[in-house]
Structure 1
Amino acid sequence: MHDLPGSIGPDMTQPATRGPSMADVARHAGVSSQTVSRVANGHSNVEEPTRQRVIASMEALGYRPNRAARALRSGRFHSIGVIMFTLSTFGNMRTLEAIADQAAEAGYSITLIPAGPTASQVSGAYSRLNEQAVDGIILIFEAHLIGKTDITLPPGVPVVVIDSNPDSQLPVVDTDQALGARQATQHLLDLGHRTVWHISGPLTSFSATHRREAWAATLAEGGIEAPPPLAGDWSTESGYRLGLELGRRDDVTAIFAANDQMALGAIRALHELGREVPGDVSVVGFDDLEESSSFWPPLTTVRQDFREVGRLSIQTLLRSIESPTAAPDRSVLVPTELIVRKSTAPPRA
């Protein structure tokens, strides 16, 4: 069908416009096309004044490197896949933020795929990533799911796991969960409490298991039999419910909660029961939420360096991407720090 007079249609008489080419940038900057290619691909063998001149020409001309063509030449897509179990926790969000920042600094983009807790959901996430062009994958969830028979890792794609068992066959980067739990428990014992009760995370969580086992081991080293732990689900509501249970016991003078949200719920429960914090019961959390210093009383807690976890996970993954034949790192643990505030004190005489 022909366009009618006066109608709006494609003007076939005008040549199609194209964006500036690498050769255009080279002429503008007064360098070779090879030099422009090195700058576009992030190579280091370009003198800094020349690099800045090429970048200025790219910006002046509006040049955008062709990522697809660059990937065909280099075998790299400069993209990292992230599979995450949940976006709702403080630690996961802070870690993801750090991963995105560090990846961008290294010239990589991020493809995020949330996955449910079942093996089939994790397998589906892998399948979706197989359809994406990624150079490596970071997993932020419990790595015991990887051992399920219906999950196949993308062949030849490096993988790093966060929040997992250090005995995993894959490289693991995580906070030293056991150290943090020992710091929290020992702090309460050093204040003079005869024992420490524990509000744990879910029984299926590696992080919760590491914290729970380290709490019990620290008590055992002091010759103290650990009281039965109470399992929450990381939520403030579960901390409140279990705080009511513990607060009704006169022999409870110290509580270590496996995260700050559950600690906050427990503190609310203790207040409602008329038990002062820390006068009657001391409470320690884990994570050091930004709001923890504004709890009443301000919360003593274990600080995790999520930004360092994110930085090291990218660093570990990039080493595997750039040196695929090198032996992979097996476990990198980031130390924790006990932050003492006003929610802990010696027990009443």
Structure 2
Amino acid sequence: MADVAQLAGVSSQTVSRVSNGDSAVVDSTREKVLAAMKELGYRPNSAARALKRGDFRAMGVITMGLSSTGNVRTLEAIAGCAAREGYAVTLIPLDAPTQDNVKGAFTRLDELAVDAVALIMEVHLLDTASLTLPPHVKVVVVDSDSSGRFPVVDTDQRQGARTAVRHLLDLGHRTVWHVAGPKESFAAGHRAAAWEELLLQEGRTVPPLLRGDWTPDAGYEAGLRLADEPDCTAVFVANDHMALGVLRALHERGRRVPEDVSVVGFDDIPDSGSFIPPLTTVRQDFARVGQLCVDAILRELRGETLMGTTLVPTDLVERRSTARYTGVSPQEG
């Protein structure tokens, strides 16, 4: 900065003002300073400026891997929204759901100097009793629950599941089977609970719950079991990837979709309209979740105190994997 000031014939304070975009500097002086910066190859040290301001213009994201559709699409939305607001994003994916991994991720983000952290993970891993968060770092939880400790942004999992089950019941099916996600998943738990609650509310039989790990292979294994259930005419699957496996298993066992069995998924992944048949599914608005997450972070950074959960509604996308129940089970037929 001193070299730039000497070459431009101005004070170091004037160089600092030009670097910070101060409008009080007259145009002729600004041009001399910028020319000197260019000649000397000078660039302001953004890290030093951030330390001085206490504002790093950076967000951290901690997530449980990048294999699930929800994590990837939520991360994509957060990164895009953050960039538009002038924030960089540092990603730390965890390879195992342990307290030590979570602590290590927060320590690393503190070293990298971020203003806020978005957690796309099961929040029970965040043990605040043994984890000291840097006082300046704001936290927002996505797709989980914080028990009132941090603001939460999430898809309305229960509303989406009820919409799927209601759609199948309105088509005349006597009950709806369910292939749920992993037991430890917050989203899977809410979808399964809403499925059971609506069936009980309508006075319908609640079939045995089947579980998978979100993959097509898990859906295929569940689909083979469902194909052997003669009274199974409708299935709500907790995500589209498992629904793909269910469709394959039913096809291999000679159970036609939707003539014999109607199938509804959850997510509306880009490929779901190209399944055979095209999949009826619950669409999650990941872009909206990401935007609201960034909005919450910016509001916290402005000094607002946020708590509670913001839910993003879902939509049912009707395609050709569901049809009206004829009133005759495959066994009776």
Q: What's the counterpart of residue 55 of structure 2? A: 76
What is the CA–CA distance in structure 1 between the aligned matches of 2:266 and 2:20, rounded to whole Å?
48
Comparing 66-75 with 279-288, greater Cα deviation is found at 66-75
Deviations 1:108-159 (A, max 9, x none): 1111111221222212212222222111111100001113644333333110
Q: Does 1:262 align with 2:242?
A: yes
* Kept after mapping to 2: 8 A contact 1:280/1:348: no
* Kept after mapping to 2: 8 A contact 1:219/1:226: yes
What is the CA–CA distance in structure 2 between the aligned matches of 1:21 and 1:136, rounded to whole Å?
34
Letter in 2 for 1:79: A
Letter in 2 for 1:93: V
Residue ranges of structure 1 left out of the alignment (5+ in a row) = 1-17, 40-45
Aligned with 1:233 (options 213, 223, 227): 213
* Kept after mapping to 2: 8 A contact 1:119/1:148: no
Q: Does 1:328 align with 2:306?
A: yes
Q: Does 1:98 align with 2:77?
A: yes
Aligned with 1:222 (options 177, 198, 202): 202
| Number of residue pairs aligned between Structure 1 and Structure 2 | 314
Aligned with 2:20 (options 37, 40, 47): 37
The structural deviation recorded for 1:223 is 1.2
The structural deviation recorded for 1:322 is 2.0
What is the CA–CA distance in structure 2 between the aligned matches of 1:105 and 1:250, rounded to whole Å?
53
Q: Where in structure 2 are the equivalents of 1:244-255 lying within 5 Å? A: 244-255=224-235
Aligned with 1:180 (options 120, 140, 160): 160
What TM-score does the superposition give when structure 1 sets the normalisation length?
Answer: 0.83
* Kept after mapping to 1: 8 A contact 2:278/2:321: yes
What is the CA–CA distance in structure 2 between the aligned matches of 1:150 and 1:33, rounded to whole Å?
42
Q: What's the counterpart of residue 98 of structure 2? A: 118
Letter in 2 for 1:95: T
* Kept after mapping to 1: 8 A contact 2:179/2:219: yes
The change in CA–CA distance for 1:38 and 1:334 in structure 2 (over 3 A counts) is farther
Q: What's the counterpart of residue 346 of structure 1? A: 324
Q: What's the counterpart of residue 9 of structure 1? A: none
RMSD, aligned α-carbons: 2.8
What is the CA–CA distance in structure 2 between the aligned matches of 1:131 and 1:91, rounded to whole Å?
28
What is the CA–CA distance in structure 1 between the aligned matches of 2:288 and 2:184, rounded to whole Å?
25
Secondary structure of 2:223's match?
Answer: helix
Q: Does 1:309 align with 2:292?
A: no
Deviations 1:229-277 (A, max 9, x none): 1111101000000110011111000000000001000000000000000
Q: Does 1:164 align with 2:144?
A: yes
Q: Does 1:337 align with 2:315?
A: yes
* Kept after mapping to 1: 8 A contact 2:5/2:15: no
What is the CA–CA distance in structure 1 between the aligned matches of 2:6 and 2:268, rounded to whole Å?
52
Deviations 1:149-184 (A, max 9, x none): 443333331100111026442110111111100100
Letter in 1 for 2:115: D
The structural deviation recorded for 1:195 is 0.2
Q: What's the counterpart of residue 191 of structure 1? A: 171
The structural deviation recorded for 1:63 is 6.9
What is the CA–CA distance in structure 2 between the aligned matches of 1:178 and 1:145, rounded to whole Å?
23
* Kept after mapping to 2: 8 A contact 1:22/1:37: no
* Kept after mapping to 2: 8 A contact 1:22/1:33: no
What is the CA–CA distance in structure 2 between the aligned matches of 1:90 and 1:338, rounded to whole Å?
18
Q: Does 1:299 align with 2:279?
A: yes
What TM-score does the superposition give when structure 2 sets the normalisation length?
Answer: 0.86
Comparing 60-69 with 283-292, greater Cα deviation is found at 60-69
Comparing 310-319 with 154-163, greater Cα deviation is found at 154-163
What is the CA–CA distance in structure 2 between the aligned matches of 1:148 and 1:347, rounded to whole Å?
50
What is the CA–CA distance in structure 1 between the aligned matches of 2:140 and 2:46, rounded to whole Å?
24
Q: Does 1:135 align with 2:118?
A: no
Q: What's the counterpart of residue 318 of structure 1? A: 298
The change in CA–CA distance for 1:114 and 1:330 in structure 2 (over 3 A counts) is same
- Report % sequence identity: 52
